[in-house]
Each structure stands twice: as C-alpha cells, then as structure tokens.
Structure 1
Amino acid sequence: MAPRKHVKTAKAKGSRPVIDPSNRVAKKRASGAPPKHKNGLLNVAVSESSELMKIAKQNSLQSPLLCLPPEIRNKIWRYALGGYQIDIRGHCSRSARKAPKLLFDTRPMATRYPVQWNYIRPTFLLHKICRQMYVETSPLIYTLNTFTFNNVDTMDRWIKDRAPGQLRLVTSVDVPMEYMRLYHLGFRKKFCAKFPGIKRIGVDILVPYFSRYMSETLEESKARILRKIKEWEGEHVEVEWHWGPNGRPSALRYE
C-alpha cells in the first residue's frame, strides 16, 4: 500500500492564537512630557478639584517663605536670582560627531575674572521646587541677568535651544565680535526680532577698531555703530561696550 502524503490543513483566515489573559505583561504607561503653552513655557495650571491644587494651596498656607507678602517674596527672588552675568560657553566632547555641549558660569555684574575664592555661584533651581515658585521665579533668570557668549556658534545654538517664551524674557546680552560683524552685514536678524524684550546690547570694544573706515577716528566709528544699532533696534535700547568673552567692564558707555 503506497504511503499517504501528508496533507497540510489550511488555517482559517483571520484566526489568531488564543492567549491566556493571565499571562499578559502589564506595562506602565510612560508619563508624557509636561503640558506647555504655545510659546514653549510650561503650563502649570491645574483644575481646582485636583490633588495638585490641594498641595499648592497647602504650600501657600504652611510654607514660611510662601506665606510672606508678594512684595517681600519678589525682593527675595530678585536678590537670589538677579544681578549676574551668565557666561555661556560651548564645550567640545571627544567625539567629533557630538555637538558641543553648552556650559555656563556666573559672576556678579561689573566684576572681572577670577572672582573671589569664597564666591558662591547660584544654581538657578528655585523654579523647580513647586508650581508657585516656578511661576514667580522662572522669568527672573532671563529678565534680571546679562547673557554673554564666547563665540558666534555658541550664541546661535543657545538661541536655537531656547523656547520662544524664554527669548521674549531676555533683556540684556553681550554679543561676540564675530556675531556683531555678521549682524552688521545682514546675516543675523535684528536683536529685537530674536529678543522682543531686549533693553541692553553689549558690543565688543574691539568692534569699532576693526570696522572703522580709513578716514574715521575711533570715536567716529563708535558713534556710527551706536547710531546704526539705535536705528535698527530702537532708541530705547541701551548700548554698552564690553571686553570680549570675559566681559571686563568698560568706562565707555552710551545711552
């Protein structure tokens, strides 16, 4: 008798293996990113009936700091977070594929390097303590300090990494010499377009030396640069001269 051929049984279309529900792996949902406003800033609003609102109210009533009047709290925040020069620098890693990491250092305004040995650098982390402190302190980091940059690439990248809402809060910057050259040639946007709240622009003291015309004196070159910046940015913007990345204060000041 000839051997029978093995006949494959056709599976029903759409049939799936039965899985025992008890064998399923329970996966936790990944917590999503915190909600943000359209300008990129965190949206810390919560509903009145939520547990987070209960915690916020409890903090405002029981915390000795948050119980203070708003005027006193604001003075404390300004003292702790304002009056600094924040020096942004690009740090190149060993791997050339990685973009330079942006680091920052701080020092009181109108001071020179090195700072005193006992100087305690601020961490600017008050806004991470609770929702109320985030609302009250996070804008002050940008509005009360001057940002400086060691080169044009660092400044471009720092601007690119900021949310629109953060850029609107910036009031004072010290601009690298190369960035100012590109700015005058039209290869960089106006500062009022990048920083709508800008009030002060620091120009490298070497810019008038290297950008003056053949027949110009140094003072005439400074005056021309001042007029151009005022014309582009507005008469309300204050222009000062600074000494390179280290920001040595200059006696020359134009308002």
Structure 2
Amino acid sequence: MAPRKTAVGDKAPKAPATKKSADKVVKRPARGYHKFRNGLLNVTPKGGEKELVKRNEKSPLLRMPAEIRNKIWKLVLGGKLYESDWTLGFCSPPTEPEDATALLRTCRQIYSETAIMPLALTTFSAETVREAARSLKKLKPSQRKQITTLQLTVYWHSMPTELELFCLGIRHSKHFRSLLALREVRIMVYSVPDLDGTREKVEAMYEHLKPSIQDMPFAVKVDYTHQRWRDYLNS
C-alpha cells in the first residue's frame, strides 16, 4: 500500500478579528457541516439530531465512566508512528488500515471526546531537522498545534549538528514554533559499524549540548540503540 498523507480537509475559517468575536459561539448552517478555526468539526446537534444523541447516550459504551472510555479511545487511536517522506510529508505506515480513525465517525459524543487523539497520540518521526521542518510545513497550522511528540532518528556523528539545528528551529522557525502542544522530543541515536564506546560518546555530546535545551518548554530525551544506522535505513 502506498504511503498516505496524515490528514485531509477543507480550509479552516479565517481568524476572528476581535476577542469578542473569537468568544462567540459559531452556529452550524442549516445544511452541510461547519469546521471551527482549529479544524475540528462542529458536531452540535440540531433538530432531530438531538433525539438521536439522547438515544446514543444510553448505549453501554457511553454509559461507562469517562476515565474508562478515555483508556479505550487511547488504545484504539494511540501508539502510532508517522515517518516523514521528503515528497509527501508525514505519512502513516503502509500497515495502517484504511479505517484507522473510523471510531471518530461513530457518533457526536465519541467524536467530541476523541477528535484530537489521532494526532496528539502519534509520534512524528524524521531523520533530519530539515526534513522534519519540510514535513511540518505540509500540515495545517491546526494540525501542528495538536502534535505532542516529535522524534529525530540520527546516527551519532550527526547528533550535535541536528540537536543544535533543532534548538535554532524551535526558536526561529514558524513551523516548529507552532508546535504549541509539544511535550516531548526524542532523539534516537543509531550506532555505526566498528566504533567503540558509542554510548559514552553520545552521552558526552548530550551533556555538552544540555545547556542549550534546558530552557525548552518540553522534555528532550536521548536514547541510544545498538542497531546499526545502515540496518535502520534498510529496514
């Protein structure tokens, strides 16, 4: 199966001109559908839909405590890894089923509780900072604002450069600065053949670069793997 873009949708409405208008409740049109500025659907029930919503609330699933429902939603929608493609941007893996987000189309209440989860619970991975920036550019601003986890897969020689570029990008690139929900950045460091003490070198590099990332509003984790870089590229 060919890689698919992470999301599609109509263009979101323009930003309100004033705070007063920003707080105003946007009503759904009589026909069709309406999207909020953040890209989410307005699923407020109208007319006969209200009775349908009441009937849905009596289902065994929706009568469960919210905490249990939330765990179910995370099991269904979470744990995915989207890797960047130089042409397509961040793509879902070929093994992901076509109906991976079908849960959101079940009913209005489930959509309201799960709409941001497909992006918020997904790890977005790239091999370079430049590639990550290029893939982020292909996402809508409302989509970038939902991303919580970003991963860079590098081999140890390029780690200092990529981490420094990332620090610059977070401060100066509008695409990185728009990651308002970002909570964690993972640096996955792959080893190279015939190199002793790779882990120690990686840890030393990280300690050297630590001052430049200490003031970041998210966690930066560096993980070392014994997998060879060339094996990773061929996997």
**Is this a same-fold pair by TM over 0.5?**
yes
SS in 2 for 1:225: helix
State the AA in 1 paired with 2:45: V
- 1:7-36 deviation per Cα after TM superposition (whole angstroms, max 9, x unaligned): xxxxxxxxxxxxxxxxxxxxxxxx987311
Match of 2:118 in 1: 141
Q: Tell me: CA distance 1:102–1:146, structure 2 relative to 1, closer, same or farther (3 Å).
A: closer
Look up the match of 1:183: 166
Q: Please identify the structure whose Cα radius of gyration is greater.
A: 1
Higher helix content, 1 or 2: 2
Contact 1:87 1:105 in 2 (8 A): yes
Q: After TM superposition, list the pairs within 5 Å mapping 1:30-41 onto structure 2.
A: 34-41=33-40
Computed over aligned residues only, the root mean square deviation of the Cα atoms, in angstroms, reads 3.9
| 1:145 CA displacement | 3.3
Number of residues paired by the alignment?
A: 182
**Alignment partners' CA distance in 1, 2:183 and 2:94:** 20
Q: Cα 1:73–1:202, aligned 2, differ >3 Å: closer, same or farther?
A: same
The two structures have a TM-score, normalised by structure 2, of: 0.60
Question: Would you say the 8 A contact 1:81–1:122 is kept in 2?
Answer: no
**Which residue is equivalent to 1:130?**
107
Question: Structure 1 204/68 Cα, relative in aligned 2: closer, same or farther at 3 Å?
Answer: closer
Q: Percent identity?
A: 25
Matched, 1:56 2:53: yes
Q: Is the 8 A contact 1:202 1:241 kept in 2?
A: yes
Query: What secondary structure does 2:214 align onto?
Result: helix
Q: Distance in 2 between matches of 1:218 and 1:242?
A: 9
2:84·2:124 contact (CA, 8 Å) conserved in 1?
Answer: no
CA contact (8 A) 1:39 1:163 kept: no
What 5-or-longer segments of structure 1 have no aligned partner?
1-30, 92-98, 108-118, 207-216, 249-255
Secondary structure of the residue aligned to 2:63 is coil
* 1:226 CA drift (Å): 2.6
Q: CA deviation at 1:90?
A: 2.1
Deviation at 1:142, TM superposition (A): 2.8
Report the alpha carbon displacement of residue 172 of structure 1 after superposing the two structures with TM: 1.2
Asked whether the equivalents of residues 171 and 198 of structure 1 are also in contact (C-alpha less than 8 Å), the reply is yes
Matched to 2:81, the amino acid is I
Pairing of 1:146-185 with structure 2 (within 5 A): 146-150=123-127, 155-177=132-154, 180=163, 182-185=165-168
- Structure 1 residues 51-108: Cα deviation after superposition (integer angstroms, max 9, x where no partner): 22222222222x33223232221121122222x14122327xxxxxxx537531299x
C-alpha displacement of 1:45: 1.9
Matches within 5 A, 1:104-253: 104-105=92-93, 123-150=100-127, 155-177=132-154, 180=163, 182-186=165-169, 189=173, 193-205=177-189, 218-231=202-215, 233-234=216-217, 237-242=218-223
CA contact (8 A) 1:86 1:106 kept: no
CA gap of 1:200–1:153, structure 2 versus 1, over 3 A, is same
Q: How does 1:37-48 map to 2 (within 5 A)?
A: 37-47=36-46
Over 3 Å counting, the alpha-carbon distance change for 1:32 and 1:55 in structure 2 is: closer
Identify unmatched segments of 5+ residues in structure 2: 1-29, 155-160, 191-200, 230-235
* Aligned partners of 2:89 and 2:134 also within 8 Å: no
Give me the whole-angstrom Cα distance separating, in 2, the residues matched to 1:226 and 1:106.
36
Question: 1:127: how far off?
Answer: 1.0
TM-score of the two chains, using structure 1 as the length reference: 0.56
- Evaluate the alpha carbon distance shift between residue 89 and residue 220 of structure 1 in structure 2; reply closer, same or farther with a 3 A threshold: closer
